[in-house]
Structure 1
Amino acid sequence: MRVGGLSEEQLLARILPRLPAGTDTLLGPGDDAAVVRAPDGRFVVSTDVLVEGRHFVRAWSSGADVGWRAAMQNLADVAAMGARPTSLTVSLVLPDDVEVDWVLGVADGLAQACGPHGVGVVGGDLSGGPAIVAAVTVHGDLAGRAPVRRSGARPGDVVVHSGLLGHSAAGLALLRAHGPTAAGPPVPDADFVRAFRRPDPPLTDGPAAADAGATAMMDVSDGLLKDLGRIARASGVSVDLSSRDLGPAVDELDVVAQACEASALGWVLTGGEDHGLVATFPPGAAYPAGFRRIGVIGPAPDRSGEQAEGTVPDGGTRVTLDGEPPAVGGSGWDHFGSS
């Protein structure tokens, strides 16, 4: 059965029973809007999209994979503010030829990602269109915390990271090289493909970092260099990464990088969509156990050494590796240009 053979109401009747209610949902789908508890009196909100052919292809990802990714990339944004995600809404654009089972898989993936965290999928919209688009809006509760912004890093702060680096990029490279069969043996390769299809960010580490005094934080969605460049610009500082501290992450990718004729360091620095958390802490501060040191914050760079936006990789001279510009191609994903 395909989407074009059902009415909107009939498709919704199949989707809604699969979605989690969430622990903070007071009124779920069925009316013009949902009602979600906001104990803090404030709520964190973010939105993101997945577009077929741009962010995924059906040959490489099941509907459940797409639902999982759509949820997790948004849940990570909330966690990066130091908040606990509470609910999300999902709007789907669907061509008529999409199989209904694939769409129900999206609902299952949303439930698999959200259910264990008590996050409700409380509404959304359906529309027909030329390509699949999944648009997600997520809400979160700060529980009395101040939001952790990108602009709080200060010279002398330690840069730390929680989660994976470069694994999603490795999985994408394997899929490009081998197609869907890349998910088969050997097992390490399958783990990288799984990291691309179903990133698993350390969501609870976001609020933990906020409680521990993180001065700045964001999720690594577009690549470590690009996203640290955003923190550096927002905070008016520079970042110097340590190749020694990044060594274990590079070593994890070395074998598959050689097989793909790629750079493991390049994946670590520029590969996005692992959705780990990068944060900064004052020198000497105790940061949560899930985080590992990867560099330090320095003063603002000499602006005379920076070139115009667009002529150098995003972040420019603000992010260095062992004191030098990283010798990798590009800086990460750009939604409107080459990565």
Structure 2
Amino acid sequence: MQPEPAQNPDTVAGLGEFGFIERITGGRPQPSTTLLGPGDDAAVVAAPDGRVVTSTDVLVEGVHFRLDWSSPEQVGAKAVAVNVADVAAMGAVPTGLLVGLACPPTLTAEIADRMTEGMWQEASRAGVGVVGGDVVSAGSIVISVTALGSLQGREPVTRSGARVGDVVAVRGRLGWSAAGLAVLSRGFRSPGTVVGAHRCPQPPYQAGPEAALAGATAMIDVSDGLLADLGHIAVSSSVAIDVWAERMEVHQRLVDVASALGSDPLHWVLTGGEDHALAATFPSAAALPPGWRVVGTVKEGSGVTVNGRAYERPVGWEHWR
């Protein structure tokens, strides 16, 4: 009988499943909403509202991230950010994260440590903890995060509440991640501001609950492109939305990058995904919380237009298309 080959202690296989779990969760601080954290069959998270907002996203190596483009910390932070942004888009405050990590057994412990460190850092920025999850072996890295949130007694802000006469407003950056992807796709690594925006988005987490308190009628996380995601609000609310191009914020850095690459910076702003800004409708401009900016209006009809006309180019990202 042949002895089993020795495991490399510097890999996740060398750490073993339970050693790896202890390594990434042991000693980490948890918010007050975590009543029972990692280490048991399931976690216990406080839900004083009586309702739990929940959302799941899956990030796949080679589709959503590349380790030759992003650091492990940035990949981990991105996995958290894209999920907590969805909770914020419902007007909720995050209360817990469940992380599923599939990776090759040869993944080095250093990369795994750095990836999970990025998760914890972004979770801390969002005011939430990783309360549990699972790790399994796979041929490539796949990260699945489920975010939990509390409405704190408020009604959820859905996609179906927009009304004719509402204003459309956004909070957060738009077009930066698309510009960063364009730069990376050309083989460049700078300017760092746009490349960094693609590697790790910075959603305005607090803006979701603030919008809910201000009376937002509908809201969505801009993950696939502003026009595409406003299209979801238009369909769900049975309304039309018109975006005003002249109201869109096109930063000079995007203009400079687009000029160098022969691209259109406004197209990035209107259709670029993965910035995870928030878009919402409000009864009036006077209702907007600080930091939100009006970019359009809700009208009778259907679909999304730009300056009253159909947008002739692709409006955003959709898997399998």
Matched positions, count:
312
Q: Which residue of 2 is the match for residue 330 of structure 1? A: 314
1:181-227 C-alpha deviation (Å, 9 max, x unpaired):
x14xxxxx211111111111111010010000000001100000110
Asked if 1:154 corresponds to 2:139, the answer is: no
Counterparts of residues 133-212 of structure 1 (less than 5 Å): 133-179=142-188, 182-183=189-190, 189-212=191-214
Give unmatched runs, 5+ long, in structure 1: 184-188, 302-317
Runs of 4+ in 1 over 4 A off after TM superposition: none
Q: Which residue of 2 is the match for residue 62 of structure 1? A: 71
Q: Which residue of 2 is the match for residue 298 of structure 1? A: 299
Q: Which residue of 2 is the match for residue 289 of structure 1? A: 290
Aligned with 1:320: secondary structure? strand
Change in CA separation of 1:51 and 1:230 when aligned onto 2, cut-off 3 Å: same
Q: 1:75 aligns with which of 81, 84, 89?
A: 84
Q: Which residue of 1 is the match for residue 117 of structure 2? A: 108
- The Cα of 1:284 is off from its aligned counterpart by 4.9
Task: State the identity %.
Answer: 50
Q: 1:227 aligns with which of 206, 229, 240?
A: 229
Q: Which residue of 2 is the match for residue 30 of structure 1? A: 39
Structure 1 window deviating more from structure 2 (212-221 vs 169-178): it is 169-178
- TM-score (structure 2 length as normaliser): 0.94
Aligned with 2:279: secondary structure? strand
- The Cα of 1:250 is off from its aligned counterpart by 5.6
Structure 1 window deviating more from structure 2 (256-265 vs 222-231): it is 256-265
Give unmatched runs, 5+ long, in structure 2: 1-9
Give, as a single letter, the amino acid of the residue that structure 2 aligns with 1:330: P
- The Cα of 1:283 is off from its aligned counterpart by 3.0
- The Cα of 1:107 is off from its aligned counterpart by 1.2
- The Cα of 1:142 is off from its aligned counterpart by 0.5
Aligned with 1:56: secondary structure? coil
Change in CA separation of 1:252 and 1:18 when aligned onto 2, cut-off 3 Å: farther
Give, as a single letter, the amino acid of the residue that structure 2 aligns with 1:190: G
Q: Could you tell me whether the CA contact under 8 Å between 1:64 and 1:110 is conserved in 2? A: yes
Asked if 1:120 corresponds to 2:98, the answer is: no
Change in CA separation of 1:116 and 1:262 when aligned onto 2, cut-off 3 Å: same
- The Cα of 1:17 is off from its aligned counterpart by 2.7
- TM-score (structure 1 length as normaliser): 0.89
Q: Could you tell me whether the CA contact under 8 Å between 1:23 and 1:118 is conserved in 2? A: no
Cα RMSD after superposing both structures: 1.4
CA distance in 2, matches of 1:143, 1:274: 26
- The Cα of 1:176 is off from its aligned counterpart by 1.2
- The Cα of 1:172 is off from its aligned counterpart by 1.0
